[in-house]
Structure 1
Amino acid sequence: MPNQESRPMFIFEGNHRCLDFINTEIIDKGHPVDLLQDFSDLIEWFVQAQIIDEKGAKAALSKVKVSTDGKLILAQAKSFRAVLRDMVDRIVKGKPVPQSTIDEINKLLRRRVGCKQLSRTRQGFEERFHPETEEPVHLIVQIAESASDLLCNADFSLIKKCENPACVLYFYDTSKNHARRWCSMSICGNRMKVAAHYKRHRRKKEI
């Protein structure tokens, strides 16, 4: 695993795992940046997204060293991310999700491995599906499940793109009045407010 200083600074402002994965592509100083530069970055994202723990991450990295499939799995993850970005972009614009996108999601869902397990709760008992994540490719299946959940259960009107024209991040608006406009105040909100304030004062001076 990368040391603390070298770990990528991923953004988790999407309020949905699928959107957070799409948001591993950002704009920095006007230039597109892919935060998933290599397989270890991908595994680190799964750790920060709390899909696997450090032990699981080390196991995934050691398996890839043996199988040398890291580049292939990374390419598959990025390809699926592009499918998801197109899907969400269409949703935001009010366009239908194409069947080809559904097919790509289903292709990964068919690779889901795991089992149901019973656990005790305060109310009694519940049965949950515990996915298998021992093989690195199974981790991408977790993203497919998140995409399926987004399509089946989300209110599409609350899936939004940051209103900063220079930003490419998406989020699910869970704010009280559903009036969220920015990926986050610290990244874009304050910046856009300062820019708007400057424009207003500049117009007053010109008048």
Structure 2
Amino acid sequence: MAAHSDNAPLFLADHVALDFLNTVMQVNGQPQDLWQSDDDVLAWLARAELATPGETVSWPAGTLLHEARRLREIIRTLVAQKKAGEKLQPEALNAFLATIPACKQLHAGETLHIVKVYVSNNPARLLAPVAELAASLLVDPHGELIRTCEHPDCTLWFYDRTKSHRRRWCSMALCGNRAKVARFRQQQK
């Protein structure tokens, strides 16, 4: 994948759990983890609209980063198992989900609705929506729509929501265009 100008996470997978995986990407041919601090994870969660921007945390520095990376690898393993047609080994994700106490509450705003409230004060509270979305992705009967980019230098995942289900690239603007340019150059030789 081409170097991403500011090395900011890309949101192009059409599924938040896959965007979560895509926080490790190829930059100049080398895997790069776009999370280097708790603040990086908090910024990603805010950009994914899963946390409030500027949310404060009350645990030791690096704890959220560690838990996010651990959850990311759990999800990556399970998605790879699903894509390979293997029997899923959900114990690690289930153990993570078990650490997230939550309850539903009635919220009276402009309209009356129910909201899910995470009641713990640990990093899992912030990562809970991602873990739940990953579990939903894994039970999705359309697992064939979970794909990796076909560009040989790209490792990004996406969920193919196109009408024809023929999406091949993480993004036409990135890898799709690079493939077209490479094909054109090959034809010119």
TM-score of the superposition, structure 1-length normalised?
A: 0.79
Amino acid at match of 2:75: L
Q: Which residue is equivalent to 2:39?
A: 40
Please give the secondary structure, in 2, of the residue aligned with 1:190: helix
Aligned to 2:171: 184
Q: Does 1:196 align with 2:183?
A: yes
Tell me, which stretches of 5 or more residues in structure 1 are unaligned?
1-6, 203-207
Q: Give the RMSD, CA atoms, in angstroms.
A: 2.4
How far apart, CA to CA, are the structure 1 residues paired with 2:131 and 2:36?
21
Give the distance between the partners of 1:133 and 1:9, measured in 2 at CA: 29
Number of equivalent positions: 184
1:196–1:93: structure 2 CA closer, same or farther, 3 Å change rule? Answer: farther
Q: Secondary structure at the match of 2:175?
A: helix
Gaps of 5+ in 2: 1-5
Look up the match of 1:75.
66
Task: Describe the SS at the equivalent of 2:62.
Answer: helix
User: After the TM superposition, which residues 10-49 of structure 1 pair with which residues of structure 2 at under 5 Å, given as runs?
Assistant: 10-49=9-48
Aligned twin of 2:118: 131
Give the aligned residue type for 1:18. A
Which has the larger Rg? 1
Choose from 150, 158, 165 the match for 1:171. Answer: 158
Q: Which residue of 2 aligns with 1:140?
A: 127
2:37, 2:65 within 8 Å by CA — same for their partners in 1? yes
Q: TM-score, normalised by structure 2?
A: 0.86
Q: 1:8 to 1:48 in 2, by over 3 A?
A: farther
Residue identity (%): 33
| 2:101 is the alignment partner of 1:113 | yes
Change (3 A) 1:114 1:25: same
Distance 1:148 1:197, change over 3 A: same
